[in-house]
A and B are shown apart, each in its own frame.
Chain A
Amino acid sequence: MYVAVKGGERAIANAHAWLAEERRGNTDVAELSITQIREQLSLAVNRVMAEGSLYDPDLAALAIKQARGDLIEAIFLIRAYRTTLPRFGASEPVDTGAMACDRRISATFKDLPGGQVLGPTFDYTHRLLDFKLAADGGQPEAPTREAEPGDVPHVTEFLNREGLIEEAPHDDTPPPDLTREPLEMPADRALRLQALSRADEGFTLGLAYSTQRGYARNHAFVGELRIGTVPVEMDIPELGFAVEIGDVSLTECETVNQFKGSKTEPPQFTRGYGLVFGQSERKAISMALVDRALRWEELGEDNVGAPAQDAEFVLYHADNIQATGFLEHIKLPHYVDFQSELELVRKLRREASAAQVQEAAE
C-alpha cells in the first residue's frame, strides 16, 4: 500500500538532533573550546577566514567547531553570516611594505634589505609523526630576539629600479566588489584577484600546479613571500582623517615571471600577485601563479587554451561554496525530471525494438 510520504518536518528535526549529538562525540571526552581551536588549529582558522572573506578568528573557530571540522562547511557558515552584516565603509588600502613580518623569504636573492626570516614554517621539518604530541605537547619555547627596526621593502622594488620588471602603476580606481555586484566577464585584474583571494585552496593549487607542468607555463620565481600583521586604517568622515581600527595578519606572495617580450612590451620580468588573510602561504603562492596565467591577454601572450588562462573557467568554478552547493544539490529529489526521462527512454526503446523487428521481418 502506498502512503504519501509525510513527516518531512519531523525527519529534519530528528536529523538535526542526531547531528548535534555526533558533533559533540563521546561526552566522556572534554568538549573542545573555541579558544582551543583558535589557538591550536590556527591554520584551519586562517583558511576559513580567507575563503569565508571575513577576518574574525573567534567566529572562524566557532564555525569549525559547529562544522565538525569540515572546513568548507565552516567557510559556508562564515559566508552566510558575513552577508547579513551591515557595511560601514571601506578601509584604506593596507600597506604590506609596513608589515610586521613573522616570515619573509625571497627565492630570487640570497640576501636583501630586511633579511631572510624563516619564521614558523613547516618547510624544513622532517615529516615524522611526533608521538610526544600524542601524550603531552608540553610548553615548547622558541628563542627570541629584537626585531630589526624599519620597514621591509618589497623585492620587486629593487628590480623595478633597473626597469627589469614591468611597472605596476598606482591606480586609484575603486576595485569592483564581487560580493555586491554580479560577477561579469571580462573581469579586470582587480576583480580576478578578489575572486582568487577567496577561491578554494585546492582548486587554486591544482590550477597553479597545472601551469608549472606546462599548461600555460610562466616559470614563476617566488620573488618574495611575507607573512605578518598590518594595521588597518579607516577614514572616519566625522573626524576627517584615518584612524587605526585594528590589525590583520596576511600572507603576500609576489612572483617574478619570465617574459620574452611581445609586440608591445620589451623583454622583462612580469608579476604575479597573491594576497590572502592569515598564514596561508600555499594559497598565496598558488594565487600568484594563477593570476600571472590569467594575465596573458594584457601582456600580449598567446592563449594556448590552458585552463589556468581561461578567466571564465577559473572564476566561475573557483568558489567552493557555489561548487559544493550545486554539486550536493543532486542529493535532492529529482523524481519529476527522472520520471520524464524514464518515459522518454521507454518510448525510444520501444521504437528501436519495433524497428529491429520490422527489419528482421524484411
Chain B
Amino acid sequence: MTDQAYNFAYLDEQTKRMIRRAILKGLAIPGYQVPFASREMPMPYGWGTGGVQVSAAILTPEDTFKVIDQGADDTTNAVSIRTFFERTAGVETTTTTADASVIQTRHRIPEDPLSAGQILVYQVPIPEPLRFLEPRESETRKMHSLEEYGLMHVKLYEDISRHGHIATAYAYPVKVEGRYVMDPSPIPKFDNPKLDGMEAIQLFGAGREQRIYALPPYTHVVSLDFEDHPFEASKADHPCGMCGAEDSYLDEVIMDDAGGRMFVCSDTDYCEARQAAGHRGKDAA
C-alpha cells in the first residue's frame, strides 16, 4: 500500500528534477562526480541515502524494483530499503535479478549479467577514489580536472614493492573511458570486470558526500594496474557449498567453534536459482 502522506517515491518533484539533472550530467561525462543538493532522508546517512535518492528520482510506477546488500535480498538494510519503496512508491518488487528494471545495490554486482533496459543503482559511501591519498575536496577536484593521477599510481606501486601485490581488495579504482579515475563503490575487486561494457545503465549515489556519477551502457572501464602486475579479479578458491557454483563470489560462514567453515554464494538469487535447477554443492542438505 502506498503511503499517501508523501509524494510518489517520497521526494518532491522539484528535488527529483534536480537529481535527474545531476544523473544526466553524470551520464554525459562518465566517471565525473557531479555535486548535487542531497536531501536528508528518513534513513541515516551512510545507510544508502545516495542510492535511495537516485532510485527515488528514476522510479516510475511501472518499474520492478530489487534491492540487495552484500549480494543478498534478505539482509536487514536491503529489506528496510525495499519496504521503504513499497510504502512510498507502491512499485512491484522482486528478488529475481532478470525481472528487475531497477536494482539498488550495496557492495555487489549481481552474478547474472544485466541487460539493456535495466538500471543498477549503487550506494556509495566515499565517492572520491583519491580521498585517502588527499583528504581535501578542493585538492582532489583539481587533481581530477588536471587528470593528475600520479599519486594513485604511486600508491599502487608502493603496495607492490611492499607486499608484492596491490593490496586493495575492494573499492578497487578504475579508469573510465581513459579519462576519470572512479571509485566503483566498495564492491570486491572480483566484480570489477563486470563494470566494463555493461549493457545496463550504472548510477552511483553518495548522499552524505553529495555526489552522483554514472556509467552509460557499454562504457569502457579498466581497473588500474601495471603491465607487469596485471589486475586480477579474485575470490575464495572454493565452489559454493550450496549450489556448487565455481564462478560466483563467496561468503565465508563459520559453522562451529572448531574452525569448521563453508563457502556460499553472496548473490542469494543466483544461488537459489541454481539450486532450483538441480545444482548441489557438497554442504547442501
Contacts and interface: CB of A to CB of B under 8 A. Distances in A.
A140 interface: no
Interface string B96-125: 000000000011100000000000000001
A336 B187 CA distance: 8
Interface in B202-261: 208, 210, 234-236, 241-242, 249-253, 255
Nearest to A78: B40
B78 interface: yes
Contact of A185 (B42, B46, B137, B188): B137
6 contacts: A4-B264, A80-B41, A84-B10, A329-B44, A332-B77, A333-B70
A321 B79 contact: no
B35 A184 contact: yes
B74 A336 contact: no
Interface string B245-285: 00001111101000000101010100110000000000101
B157 interface: no
Contacts of B253: 2
Contacts, number: 154
A303 interface: no
Contact of A341 (B137, B163, B169): B169
A74 to B, nearest CB: 13
Interface in A156-181: 179-181
A12 B249 CA distance: 27
A79 interface: yes
A80 B42 contact: yes
Contact of A339 (B35, B44, B46, B251): B251
Given A8-B79, A340-B189, 18 more contacts: A2-B262, A4-B72, A4-B271, A76-B44, A79-B40, A83-B41, A182-B35, A325-B49, A326-B46, A327-B46, A332-B76, A336-B187, A339-B250, A339-B252, A339-B266, A340-B190, A344-B167, A351-B164
B37 interface: yes
A348 B234 CA distance: 13
A332 B37 contact: no
A343 interface: yes
Interface in A59-111: 76, 79-80, 82-84, 86
Nearest to B73: A8
B37 A343 contact: no
A359 to B, nearest CB: 15
B40 A326 contact: no
Given A12-B80, A182-B37, A312-B138, A1 B108 contact: no
Nearest to B281: A2
A256 to B, nearest CB: 31
Interface in A286-341: 312, 316, 321-322, 324-329, 332-337, 339-341
Nearest to A312: B136
A9 interface: yes
Interface residues of B, number: 68
B44 A312 contact: no
Given A336-B108, A336-B188, A348-B165, A5 B125 contact: no
Contact of A336 (B77, B78, B234, B266): B266
A11 interface: yes
A132 interface: no
B108 to A, nearest CB: 6
B250 to A, nearest CB: 7
Contacts of B138: 185-186, 312
Nearest to B284: A2
Contacts of A180: 37
Contacts of B80: 12
B83 interface: yes
A78 to B, nearest CB: 9
Interface residues of A, number: 50
Q: Which of A12, A80, A86, A329 has the most CB of B within 10 A?
A: A329
Interface of B: 6, 10, 12, 35-42, 44-47, 49, 69-72, 74-80, 83, 106-108, 125, 136-138, 163-165, 167, 169-171, 186-190, 208, 210, 234-236, 241-242, 249-253, 255, 262, 264, 266, 268, 271-272, 283, 285
Given A327-B46, A333-B70, A341 B208 contact: no
A152 B137 CA distance: 43
A336 B267 CA distance: 10
A186 B136 CA distance: 11
B47 to A, nearest CB: 5
Contact of A328 (B46, B74, B251, B271): B46
A188 to B, nearest CB: 14
B210 A182 contact: yes
Contact of B188 (A80, A312, A340): A340
Contacts of B78: 8
A183 interface: yes
A80 B38 contact: no
A263 interface: no
A217 B49 CA distance: 38
B266 A335 contact: yes
Q: Which of B72, B186, B266 has the most CB of A within 10 A?
A: B72
Contacts of A6: 74
B77 to A, nearest CB: 5
A347 interface: yes
Contacts of A7: 74
Q: Which of B45, B125, B164 has the most CB of A within 10 A?
A: B45
